[in-house]
Amino acid sequence: MKALPLAAVLAALLAQPAGAAGPAPGRTDLSPEDRERVTSITAPAADFSAAEPFEMMQAGATTIKKLLNADIFSHPSANLSFEGRQRFLVGNGLFRKDWVSSPSSTQASDGLGPLFNARSCQACHVKDGRGTVPGFDPLEQFDAVALLLRLSVPPVTEADRQKLTQEEIAFLPEPTYGVQLQNFSVAGLPTEGRMEISYEPVLVKLNGGETATLMKPTYRITDLGYGPMRDDVQISPRLAQPMIGLGLLESIHESDILANAAADHGDGISGKPNWVYDIRAGKKVLGRFNWKASQPTVEQQSAAAFHNDMGLSSPLFPDHYGDCRKPGQASCYDMPHGAQPHLGEHEVPARLMDFVTAYSTNLAVPQRRDPDDARVLAGKKLFYQANCIGCHTPKYVTSRNATQPEHQFQLIWPYTDMLLHDMGDGLADGVQEHDATGREWRTPPLWGIGLTATVNPNATYLHDGRARTLLEAVLWHGGEAQAARDRVVAMTPEERADLIRFLESL
């Protein structure tokens, strides 16, 4: 690495918010020499005249350099071992495969349902990228696949509240319909219902005479298959997220994340951890995955996806009936399930689950495009000046103790603090999930976001896919991000274009 000029180092140190100087004290994985290196390399950028050392390789040695086409999110990490690649390939097959309902002649792939949202992981995580919501065209606003509607009811009684703490659940499911609306079911069983989305335009005037039109969604559930839902049902829409770099996000040292939560930036921003239940560990741990950081590990989220989205049991979620509920959906339990005594007690046995997890933790992040371009660098400076980095933390060096050697001690640039933030009324879903309130969302990583349309031309942004462009996504920011958003509104059109060019280079 080329030595940084002293002035740049000093400027970087001065630019650092209080409490964020170098790796957190809790990082027992680092030697004193490591600590020094990590401090200098993770200091926020201070010089915007050139790219920073290693900036191109935004996911460290795992970063891939491949042809930019629709498969760009589907490659294994560059440094994955031969054995790791074999496991990745098997996992890839399972991620793409269409499961079928039981009984069937292909016994190893049956057990789908009885209620489900999709037949494969890939149906929602399109080409390992984010999912598609039905078009914003009024004629096609029905029955999304990759957009789930989570269902819950607020705690009303003391018993409800006890249930939330004692059973370690994220929220109280709708009593008849469960944790989410499944808009598909196996033959002979009613589906739960259909979703309808309508959009209302919201105009935002920008400095320089431009106007942006945001689309505010409203959700409705029709054709209910099992009678009425509770009047106080709460609906939280969730779009399937991109699958890249997840093993690295799992390898960020917990102390580095918590140090940001504790830091007083003096800018009205205060990240909050979501403490969620880890089934394997049998205790609450730091949540990292999903739009509200409601899942602790890639493995647990993947198993939850099999269970809730596809109705398939696995060691962490052993119930074969997925999100069916008693007594409201008793007929669901009359349906056959797909567990085969000779293959183990689960529809997705531990061995297969391990392959899916290996796949989901090793999808590579592509390298940056043009980090040295003058417009990109100007946009990067604006990203810092608007204090986007108050939440979208640029870089980390991952833990030396990460489970997988490929993920250890990597300099990564995910642009997330992995913490929850109040994002204002505009984005609020009103639903509490573990410690995340109805106004809080986890800062999503931004790496790879510039390749969104390369992977899925119909993909959109934010937790419910309401933002059709990166600028719209930023303009929806409110709450703790209101000041950052207002700075973007106040930029000249050229500055805004530079900021977007920077995002597109990630």
Enumerate binding residues for ligand HEC (CB under 6 A): 117-118, 121, 123-125, 145-146, 148, 238-241, 246, 269, 289-291, 294, 298, 301-302, 305-306, 309-310, 356, 360, 383, 386-388, 390-392, 421, 423, 427, 441, 443-444, 446, 449, 461-463, 470, 473-474, 477, 480-481, 484, 488, 503
Q: In whole angstroms, how close is the CB of 24 to ligand HEC at the nearest point?
A: 20
Task: Round to whole Å and give the CA distance between 135 and 146.
Answer: 12
Of residues 38 and 484, the one with the C-beta less far from ligand HEC:
484
Provide the CA 438 distance to its chain's centre, in angstroms.
17
Residue identified by tokens 């999503």 is 444
Q: In whole angstroms, how close is the CB of 40 to ligand HEC at the nearest point?
A: 25
Of residues 41 and 123, the one with the C-beta less far from ligand HEC:
123
Of residues 27 and 125, the one with the C-beta less far from ligand HEC:
125
SS3 at position 470: helix
Q: In whole angstroms, how close is the CB of 240 to ligand HEC at the nearest point?
A: 4
Q: In whole angstroms, how close is the CB of 89 to ligand HEC at the nearest point?
A: 15
Element (H, E) at 220: strand 211-222
Pairing of strands 283-286, 396-397: unpaired
Of residues 35 and 468, the one with the C-beta less far from ligand HEC:
468
Q: In whole angstroms, how close is the CB of 385 to ligand HEC at the nearest point?
A: 9
Of residues 39 and 294, the one with the C-beta less far from ligand HEC:
294
Q: Is the bond leading into 103 cis (omega within 30 degrees of zero)?
A: yes
Q: What are phi and psi of 417, to 5 degrees?
A: -95, 0
Q: In whole angstroms, how close is the CB of 476 to ligand HEC at the nearest point?
A: 7
Who contacts 88 (Cβ-Cβ below 8 Å, separation ≥6)?
A: 76, 80, 358, 359, 362
Of residues 325 and 501, the one with the C-beta less far from ligand HEC:
501
Q: Is the bond leading into 327 cis (omega within 30 degrees of zero)?
A: yes
Of residues 36 and 98, the one with the C-beta less far from ligand HEC:
98
Q: In whole angstroms, how close is the CB of 480 to ligand HEC at the nearest point?
A: 4
Who contacts 139 (Cβ-Cβ below 8 Å, separation ≥6)?
A: none
Task: Round to whole Å and give the CA distance between 234 and 454.
Answer: 34
Q: In whole angstroms, how close is the CB of 206 to ligand HEC at the nearest point?
A: 13
Task: Round to whole Å and give the CA distance between 116 and 301.
Answer: 16
- The 8 Å CB, 24+ separation contacts for 273-281 are 273/419, 273/420, 273/435, 274/420, 274/433, 274/434, 274/435, 274/436, 274/442, 275/434, 275/435, 276/170, 276/434, 276/435, 277/168, 277/169, 277/434, 279/316, 280/316
Contact present, 260 and 20 (Cβ < 8 Å): yes
Q: In whole angstroms, how close is the CB of 470 to ligand HEC at the nearest point?
A: 5
Of residues 274 and 387, the one with the C-beta less far from ligand HEC:
387
Q: Which two three-digit tokens encode residue 440? A: 């809080």
Of residues 123 and 204, the one with the C-beta less far from ligand HEC:
123
